[in-house]
Amino acid sequence: MVEITIRKRPQTEAVITQRKFFKKTARGKVVKVLRERYLRDDVGCGIESCRECTSSDGELLPAAGDLTHQLFPNGHFILPDTNVFLSQMDLLESDLFRSPIILLQTVLEEVRHRSLPLYNRLKALTKSEDKRIWTFYNEYRSETAIIREEGETPNDRNDRGIRNATAWYNTHISLTHPPIRGQTQAALPTVVLMTEDAANRQKAEQAGISCTPVRKYVEGMKNATQLLDLLSASGSDNIEPTQAASGRQMLYPEYLPSATLIAGVKAGQLHQGHFNPNPYNYLEGSVSVSAFSKAILLVGRENMNRAVQGDVIVVEVFDEKEWKAPADEVIDAETTLKNDDAEDSGEEGDENGEEVMAEESRILRSEAQAAASERQPTGRVVGVIKRNWRAYVCHIDTTSLTSTLTTSLSTQTVFATPVSRLLPRIRLRTRQAPSLLNQKILVTIDRWDTTSRYPEGHFVRTLGQVESKEAEQESLLLEFEVPYRPFGKAILDCLPLEGDQWVVPPKGVGDLSNVWRDREDLRDLIVCSIDPPGCQDIDDALHARLLPNGNIEAGVHIADVSHFVLPDNPMDSEAAARGTTVYLVDNRIDMLPSLLGTNLCSLRPFVERLSFSSIWELTPDADIVNVRFTKSVIKSKAAFTYEEAQIRKDDPHLQDELTQSIRLLNSLAIKLKAKRMAAGALNLASPEVKIHLDSAESSEPIDVEQKELRETNSLVEEFMLLANVSVARKIEESFPQTAVLRRHLPPPKTNFEKLQDILRKTKGLTLDVSSSGALAASLDKCIDATEPAFNTLVRIMATRCMLSAEYFCSGSVARDTFGHYGLASDIYTHFTSPIRRYADVLVHRQLSAAIGFTSLHPSLHSKSHVEKILDVVNRRHRMAQMASRASVEFYVGLALKGRGEASRSRGDGEVREEAFVIRTFRNGVGVFVSKLGIEGLVTFKRDIQFDADNYTITVPGSASAAGSGGDVKISVFDKVVVQIEVEKDKNTQRGKVRMTLIEPVESRAL
Amino acid sequence: MASTSISKAEKSYIQAGLLASPSRRTDGRGLSDFRPISLETGVAPLANGSARLSIGHNPHDGSSGTEVLAAAKLEVENSTDSGRIACSVSCSPSAYPNLSTGALDDFQHDLTTVLNQTLSDRSLHPSNLVILPGKKSWLLNLDIVVLADSGNIYDALFMAARAALWDTKVPRTRSVEYKAKKNESVSKSTVGGSGDMDMDQDTASGLDTRQIISNAIDFELPDYWDEGEVLDGRDRWPLCVTLNLVPPVHYLDALPLEEASTPVRLLLVFSFPSASSPTVQAMRMLGSGELSVAEIKTLVTEGEKYAKEMMTALTFKLKEEDVRWGQKAREKFARR
């Protein structure tokens, strides 16, 4: 009989085997957690040819360690402590950093506890192939496991554990590598404890453990110069002995501890929100919080207290009598701070610093006086809940360099100016400063001390020469966090095996993979697609035909992406993470691999393609009789551009079926649009321009023109809206809890207050914002007979007052907030572009389940899962829009530059364009050049009269250079002529559009 | 009660034995002798304090003895008072196979009432159950399970309760609050003073009758690995001595058969806030007999004597347990 022994662990061992700790839950309960620990003797050390440890899995560390380091000629391994990982991750991730690393479990757990993003980076690092990292589970090996002493803090306990493990490693190596008789003893490698904590080092040295601070270690490495720059600023404390820390003056108040912040926010005494800096004024920012209808204003450096754009901060609001109005002056950090010195801007007390302070307080005082019409809650930042720091694209500020000799390798402290105006300058120390001039570089912020006026950061990598296409494009993608890496193998493996040879299998017996199951054969329908010129990812096609009963059958056929992108595979997760395809002027960052996007899913003409069709029966008055959805196979008969379709429609000689179907669609679209408008849909405008590229290769822009809209644009748009609305109703009905929908919340009335005021005072017009219909009607009345562009301008400004539309999960919000304000529809979704939007892919899956074609993937039944995906998609969507706008701006800049050069060479002088004044400031005006779709600022150096209440400025007659006599009054909506130049900022090489006023008054002299 | 059915003859035989001189009890003990008691603390790792106690457990002769398991668990509660103690006793049905479900419930309820009324008394209330004054406090749930009963259950309950409470550690908390700093130089422009009444806000004065309300609304655990501090006033937790009266004698630590043949039992619960001055925390008579005041007085004095001895022994053992969990365990770990 088999003998069974139960090896029960005696209760007396509990101290060793059990680890107990408390956890406070989100609901305020305290839970005791118990972890069992089994100590073993066979946790491998991970070093090659170790006689005791047999570990088969994972890559082992080389037996001799790393032999290239100066300080350790006998070879070594490094064993970093937690803080090294927390503060020097960039260094460890560098390709040049190749020392073998022993990662302790204690360290790993502490990193996870302190920072989840860093923990994920560390996990990725341990898995990467070119790194030699061994994770040693020291808490589970009986020799290295420790228990906490009485009165020992958790930190001390962990430090002791790390020291213990280091000591064990060293003895372990000497025991497992005994000298072989007859041979001289080979030198043994050392395991070096890497820590920044001086007290810990001291204790380690007492115990005979070799240890090193990070900087000293890196200095001894082969690639010290490059690697030293990657050191984060927090590591450099001890190498600035000349500056007595006590001599530094506090520039900013300390943050409150985070628990206090949370308590304050809970009690309603503090407010939490995202920090938004003012792009016009670097000394001002705002935070939108739920407690106030207006955003909380933060005025001055001290009150903004080291907040950086996007940080989640906590604000204390001042008493109401201290509330201020937002500034009406343009304050540019570059002009005010140009004399600031990077080397010593850390300490105050020097003349320079005082100068800056005096200047800034002057500016703030003058603002305080100006406080007039509208006060806003004002407050100060008392703490930061979450930093949103990432790598920023920057330029090195030339003037901050002390030596520009490229041979100079001395460390310099320089300023890096981020491309985004919303960010402060970053101070960084580098040895390669001269070689970084004229480069776009990536810089990470490490910390911002109370004693330092600027955040400190470190150099990550260079992107390339300023104004080179590649560098500009990459910097743009980085700046808007667009994931642009090529698709990995796992993703490409999800594509059909046939590659671009894939075709719709023949119907019937040959259909092995059952593609035709439940699919309608619509190959004979006269279907065509209408898209912008050069469009490769055709995701929609249309058809229309008369029915015998006098009604019209119209169909929208959308590429059946969900046939290829199956839920929960690598391609699906990647698409979910990318969220959307990003269109740049000269490039497109795809959401799906291009085989699908531009070939298999693209509804090209004359080939059979799978599609998801929505087919209506409409009365000649465009009322829906019924609608059905079906998976289908189509064969498009033509792919038109908007222009071609328009010409074909207007050509009276053509009477073929295709042309008639376009005419039918067009007549329906006109009626549909009229209905929409009657329901109160808004006709909004955004400044859209089109960049002409010379040729595909050189992609030099030659000119910019405004996009033209044709009847056929509207045709396609109307049918897409119709499809989206019909699909939205269907999926909401089938999946009331998890349907993926899109909504546009009505904007709060206060958003329009300023625009209403401006219109009333300058033009005597009123804007009724009570509903979208009323707004649409009153927008139609905003006409200036002399100026046709005025209406567009008001529409653009009204658009800016609105909220942005968003995807949401139908179960997460109240039913009455589903509506789409702009389209005046009670329900809406995105169904028509699954190739380039991930939300549409989800909608396709839900619709396909709703018609019983497939069953719904379980993840789409989970509200929290859908919400999580849509959060990402919403964010990506926003970022993608910003990225493409920035890309257009960059090309407009290039085009302007080219145009300027051309006109100068012709002797015509600079480029001049008509512009509208859209904002007035104490010292300038904001203008909008509608022809180029760009905004600009004109600032005056001399004093002008500013009337904030009436939105006008008056340039005194005597001051005007022309001297034509009389004061010149400029108010918002006035048409002016500006001269546009593109100039490079001397210091930062940042391209900048500079505008000067030409008419009605010349501003150059002012 | 936990009535063991017993014949009249048996009853008188046992009573005669107890009244004989020298007394003769079935297991040969003297009248004031206890069966051996064994105690272990820290038996429930997920509780904040726990103990297992058995009286008369002897594996050699197969007698199971009385066995109880006590565990104290702390729970955060939103309340305005300074914490609560809630005791409950539940009996394993196997401990009382002769009782029906209803009778077992009644019996449990009786035991719970005695224990809860005594231990949740304000005079014994530990001071460190408050987390945030007036807002949050700990609720201490003391749950005792009777695993086996072979007599003298009350003494066992109180001893186990004392041991578990002695072992209880309260997690250290730190209150979190936000204080608006009024006198800070945030707004330098307003320092000029607005002509209000100048009150010095910082000095504490007896004239100031305003109640100082703390703003703290939440707390945090500064050190989550730490088990916490011991429950305040752990020396005060009382002990119970059951005097079984067969007039004119009384005896301690009755066996079930003896209990069944004893007409009156007197529960005396003593607390020893300091070694010299014991206080009677509770007194209760069980059974159908009668007692005069004079008799009670002498019995209380007697009981105090027994209680003191028990207390000394128990405290000694508990301190030993503390060392076993702390220092000794670490030494053992280091020696490994």
CA B141 – CA B71 distance, rounded (Å): 8
Q: What percent of chain A has pLDDT over 90?
A: 16
> Looking at CA atoms only, how far is residue A425 from chain B in angstroms?
25
Is some CB atom of chain B closer than 8 A to the CB atom of A21?
Answer: yes
Q: Amino acid letter at B244?
A: N
Per-position DSSP letters for A233-300, written without gaps between them: GGGGGGG-TTS-GGGPPP-SPPPPPHHHHHHHHHTTSEEEEEEEEETTEEEEEEE--TT-SSPEEEES
Distance from CA of B263 to the nearest CA of A (A): 42
What's the pTM?
0.62
Q: Do A32 and B48 touch (CB under 8 A)?
A: yes
Q: Chain-wide mean pLDDT for chain A?
A: 81
Helix spans in B233-324 (H):
256-260, 293-323
Statement: residue A357 has pLDDT above 70: no
Classify strands B218-220 and B174-176 as parallel, antiparallel or unpaired. Answer: antiparallel
pLDDT band at residue B9 using 50, 70 and 90 as cut-offs: very high
The answer on pLDDT for A259 being more than 80 is no
Nearest CA in chain A to B321: A12
Residue A731 has pLDDT above 60, yes or no: yes
Residue B229, beta-bridge partner list: B170
Q: What is the pLDDT of residues A810-869, one digit of tens each?
A: 988 888 889 898 888 899 999 999 999 999 999 999 999 999 988 888 888 888 899 999
Q: Which residues contact A256 (CB under 8 A, 6 or more apart)?
A: A264, A314, A382, A383, B178
Q: How many CB atoms lie within 10 A of CB A773?
A: 16
By C-alpha distance, the chain B residue nearest A268 is B178
- The answer on pLDDT for A12 being more than 90 is no
Give residue A794's identity as a one-letter amino acid code: V
Which of A650, A477, A665, A660 is CA-nearest to residue A557? A665
CB A149 to CB B224 under 8 A? no
Tell me which of A363 and A284 has the higher pLDDT. Answer: A284
Of the given ranges (A15-19, A76-80, B312-316), which has the lowest mean pLDDT? A15-19
Where does A788-943 have alpha helices with state H? Answer: 789-800, 838-850, 863-906
Q: Say if residue B22 is preceded by a cis peptide, omega within 30 of 0.
A: yes
Q: Which class for A950: exposed (0-12), middle (13-18), buried (19 or more C-beta within 10 A)?
A: middle
Q: Does A148 touch chain B (CB under 8 A)?
A: yes
CB-CB contact of A668 with A544 (8 Å): yes
Architecture of domain B8-173+224-335: 2-Layer Sandwich (3.30)
Cβ-Cβ contacts under 8 Å, B187 against chain A: 318, 322
Mean pLDDT check: name the lowest of A663-672, A864-873, A900-909: A900-909
* Nearest one of A287, A311, A449 to A378, comparing CA atoms: A287
Structure tokens at A16: 């060793």
Angle at B335 between CA B332 and CA B336, to 5 degrees: 90
Mark residue A933 as left, alpha or beta (left: phi above 0; alpha: psi -120 to 50; beta: remaining).
left
Taking the C-alpha atoms of A225, A231, A237 and A240 in order, what is their torsion angle to the nearest 10 degrees?
20
Distance from CA of A157 to the nearest CA of B (A): 10
- Span A604-663, pLDDT tens digits: 999 999 999 999 999 999 899 999 999 999 999 999 998 889 898 888 888 888 898 999
B84 strand-pairing partners: B139
Chain B positions touching A139 (Cβ under 8 A) are none
Give yes or no for residue A550 having a pLDDT over 80.
yes
Do residues A384 and A311 touch, judged by C-beta distance below 8 A? yes
Rounded mean pLDDT of B252-277?
A: 88
Residue A202 neighbours by CB under 8 Å, 6+ apart: none
Q: Which residues contact B63 (CB under 8 A, 6 or more apart)?
A: B56, B57, B150
Q: Alpha-carbon distance A997 to A985, whole Å?
A: 20
Chain A residue with minimum CA distance to B44: A11
Q: Is A258 exposed, middle or buried (CB count within 10 Å of its CB: 0-12, 13-18, 19+)?
A: middle
Q: Which residues of B touch A385 (CB under 8 A)?
A: none
CA pair distance A496, A731, nearest whole angstrom: 28
The CA–CA distances, whole Å, from A767 to A676, A745, A775, A782, B181 equal: 21, 19, 7, 8, 44
In percent, how much of chain A has pLDDT > 70? Answer: 85
Q: Break chain B into its structural domains and give their ranges.
A: 8-173+224-335, 175-220
What local confidence, expressed as pLDDT, does residue A75 receive? 85
Give residue-wise pLDDT tens across range A288-321. Answer: 887 787 788 888 888 888 888 888 888 888 887 7
User: A16 and B333 in contact by Cβ < 8 A?
Assistant: yes
For residue A619, give both structure tokens.
């009365």
- Select from B178, B215, B220 the residue whose CB has the most chain A CBs within 10 Å, as the one to mutate to test that interface: B178
CB A825: neighbour CB atoms within 10 A?
22
Question: Residues A536, A646: contact at Cβ < 8 Å?
Answer: no
Surface of A (356-415) touching B: CB under 8 A: 368, 380
Enumerate the β-bridge partners of residue A457.
A428, A445
